Structure 1
Amino acid sequence: MAKSVKSASPVNPGEAAENVLVIKLSALGDFVLALGAMKAVREHHPKARITLLTTPPYKGFAELCPYVDAVETDGRPETMKATAALISRIRKARYDIIYDFQTSGRTKNYFTALNKTGKAPLWSGHHEKAAFFHDNAERKTMHSIDRLAEQLEVAGVAPDGRWLGNSAPKPDLSWVRPKLRDAPRLQPAYFSLEEPYMLLIPGASAHREAKRWPVENYAELAKRVADAGITPVIIGGKAEGQLAHEIVRKEPRTKSLTTRTDLFQIVTLAEKALFVVGNDTGPMHMAAIAGAPGVALFALTESNPDHAAPRGAKTIIINSAPTLAELSVDDVWQSVRALGVLPS
């Protein structure tokens, strides 16, 4: 009887790779948390041209990121025609390997389409037919950093086969300031700020009210901060404009920079901030990764910090109330004091 022959297991091309695609579409917090995995890909394929497929909000930031060489922003095409064009472009690029760090239904469909029209490229992601299938049943409950690390282990991107303990590749934003040559717009003085100052991040998903600490609580916290001789500074986008207006009205010593900061400036302001307090939102992740001591506010009914908490060396997570409306200013102030950064 003839012996059955097993097909060879796929092999990551490593240093031999010339053309690599990384897919990460959004959201801001998830995008930033994936930077450690992107760096690991860059180190594993040092000679490759690495392309990032993303969405327009991250174009400028990604173009300066040292882990990629090219940025494409049509990762979420709105029409069937545009989707077909994207799939055709990916196929023609003949990538040596594709890392799907989005692992959504949309990106799984991209692989399915590629697989139907011929031999699909080596693919790392959550698709049962992928060469490197991350099939951990617990993947949806893992923290983003740990999930991506395990996905890379499956794809053969890890020292000695795996990252042990707390050694998973962590996001790093230390490249921002030197990449922009420490430009004047990265300095607190650009915003007429003097140290010491701290950052308030009152935004979060507008449709998930329980994730937002009430504006009156932020105003009271701002008062305590200002009384301590520290300038409270609000950062956020257009959606946070009204929140900032109300906080400043209640505590005029607060300064609002809503709509005035880009992603690079969030990083560099956080680097020099005394501390940060914010909801479970993208800029809070950026501030923590930039090294700012911080207090992150999580609602028990909305988010599990084990899956999505900012991972900063000096970050305190508060997750003690079903909704943030039930979290008192005293609770948050106690955590701020525990950071050990307030003037004595």
Structure 2
Amino acid sequence: MGSAAILVLKLGALGDIVLATGPFAAIRAHHPGARITLLTTKPYAEWLRRAPYFDDVWIDPRPGALDILGWLALRRQLLAGGFGRVYDLQTSGRSSRYFQLMRPNPPEWSGIAPGCSHPDADPNRNHLHTVVRQKGQLRAAGILDVPPPNLDWCATDLARFDLPPRFALLVPGGSAHRPEKRWPAPSYAALARRLSERGITPLLIGTGAEARVLAEIEANAPGARSLLGQTDVASIAAIARRAEVAVGNDTGPMHLIVTAGCRSLTLFSNASDPALTAPVGRDVTVLREARLEDLSVDRVAESLFR
């Protein structure tokens, strides 16, 4: 296509953004001379400014339902961008409302907004893995070549971490409101002890909200080392490239780790479906148990030390 300004919508969450890096690359390749702007949310803006796909990154103010002035300001911003085409990779109710904001003369629009020019009309779209679904969406917009997710551009200096020669990443956290997606801390501690016995240092990844879980694991696995609150998106990906293996729940950092190229085990319960949301990378194994508390340490270790 020509050099008209392009807008890409991808608001979150972390795992979904990692899975969208393939579509990001495809859109850039399809519009080599265009100025491409990404609209995302604050947690991901600074990181995605380093990506090679975008000329500008905007932060979505996410006006509330009754914030009339906020909606009007967002409308002015979107219209001032002069966009000739929008790729809505969020395909949510909120992002589809942004199409309505740009009426009466909206740009070409790839997404699911009623009345858009390039709809993803696949009736099975909600039953497809995110990567497959987005390929179908872009195909409907004329983009046929969509590479897999890729984080080769995501790098940072790791000197501050003083990483051990051999280590594994453990990611025991996840959404606080979805405890059923977490393998129990005692199980992680038992696995960490087995890693230590093999001369592999377990490094624990997590944020402040997961402090209690990481502290419990560290207390019961003396060889483990917590990186609580010390990592950001770029450093997790960079550390993953040097790790021997990673084990974690169905959570955003595992997408980073897998796509960065680390051999990984991702643990799923019946609370989420790996057929729809599993991380994508060169060497990832999914272990699933209806209730993660019933997933044995022996089974995880068997896959880990194969």
TM-score by length of 1: 0.86
Contact 1:234 1:255 in 2 (8 A): yes
State the secondary structure of the residue aligned to 1:176: coil
Contact 1:202 1:218 in 2 (8 A): yes
Spell out, residue by residue over 1:79-103, the C-alpha distance to the aligned partner (whole angstroms, 9 max, x if none): 3321221112111222010000000
What is the aligned partner in structure 1 of residue 198 from structure 2?
Answer: 228
User: Within 2, Cα distance between the matches of 1:80 and 1:173?
Assistant: 38
Spell out, residue by residue over 1:128-155, the C-alpha distance to the aligned partner (whole angstroms, 9 max, x if none): 3110000111111111111111100000
What is the aligned partner in structure 2 of residue 3 from structure 1?
Answer: none
Matching residue within 299, 304, 323 for 2:291 = 323
Matching residue within 296, 300, 305 for 2:274 = 305
Contact 1:23 1:52 in 2 (8 A): yes
Spell out, residue by residue over 1:54-83, the C-alpha distance to the aligned partner (whole angstroms, 9 max, x if none): 000001111101101101112523433212
Please state how far the C-alpha of 1:337 moved relative to its aligned partner.
1.7
What is the aligned partner in structure 2 of residue 334 from structure 1?
Answer: 302
Contact 1:17 1:96 in 2 (8 A): no
Contact 1:294 1:315 in 2 (8 A): yes
Larger RCO (CA under 8 A, 6+ residues apart): 2
Please state how far the C-alpha of 1:18 moved relative to its aligned partner.
2.6
State the secondary structure of the residue aligned to 1:61: helix
Matching residue within 79, 82, 89 for 1:94 = 82
Matching residue within 169, 172, 178 for 2:147 = 169
Correspondence 1:177-192 to 2 at 5 A: 177=155, 186-187=157-158, 189-192=159-162
Matching residue within 270, 279, 287 for 2:257 = 287
Matching residue within 219, 242, 247 for 1:277 = 247
What is the aligned partner in structure 2 of residue 59 from structure 1?
Answer: 45
CA RMSD, aligned part only? Answer: 1.2
State the secondary structure of the residue aligned to 1:96: strand
Letter of the 1:20 partner, please give it: I
Contact 2:11 2:60 in 1 (8 A): no
Letter of the 2:50 partner, please give it: L
User: Within 2, Cα distance between the matches of 1:336 and 1:113?
Assistant: 50
Letter of the 1:257 partner, please give it: L
Letter of the 1:105 partner, please give it: G
Spell out, residue by residue over 1:225-276, the C-alpha distance to the aligned partner (whole angstroms, 9 max, x if none): 0001000000121111111111000112100001101111001000000000
- Structure 1: segments with no counterpart, 5+ residues: 1-13, 160-167, 181-185, 339-344
Q: How many residues of Structure 1 are paired with residues of Structure 2 in the alignment? A: 304
TM-score by length of 2: 0.97
What is the aligned partner in structure 1 of residue 164 from structure 2?
Answer: 194
Contact 2:97 2:113 in 1 (8 A): no
State the secondary structure of the residue aligned to 2:83: coil
Spell out, residue by residue over 1:193-250, the C-alpha distance to the aligned partner (whole angstroms, 9 max, x if none): 2121010000111111110000000000000000010000001211111111110001
User: Within 2, Cα distance between the matches of 1:154 and 1:24?
Assistant: 18
**More divergent stretch after superposition (190-199 vs 278-287):** 190-199
When Rg is computed on C-alpha atoms for both structures, the one with the higher figure is 1
Q: Give % identity.
A: 40
User: Within 2, Cα distance between the matches of 1:259 and 1:141?
Assistant: 35
What is the aligned partner in structure 2 of residue 5 from structure 1?
Answer: none
User: Within 1, Cα distance between the matches of 2:206 and 2:71?
Assistant: 32
What is the aligned partner in structure 2 of residue 26 from structure 1?
Answer: 12
State the secondary structure of the residue aligned to 1:25: coil
Spell out, residue by residue over 1:119-178, the C-alpha distance to the aligned partner (whole angstroms, 9 max, x if none): 11000001231100001111111111111111000000114xxxxxxxx4211111123x
State the secondary structure of the residue aligned to 1:64: coil
Matching residue within 133, 140, 146 for 2:126 = 140
User: Within 2, Cα distance between the matches of 1:80 and 1:336?
Assistant: 53
User: Within 2, Cα distance between the matches of 1:232 and 1:38?
Assistant: 33
Letter of the 1:279 partner, please give it: N
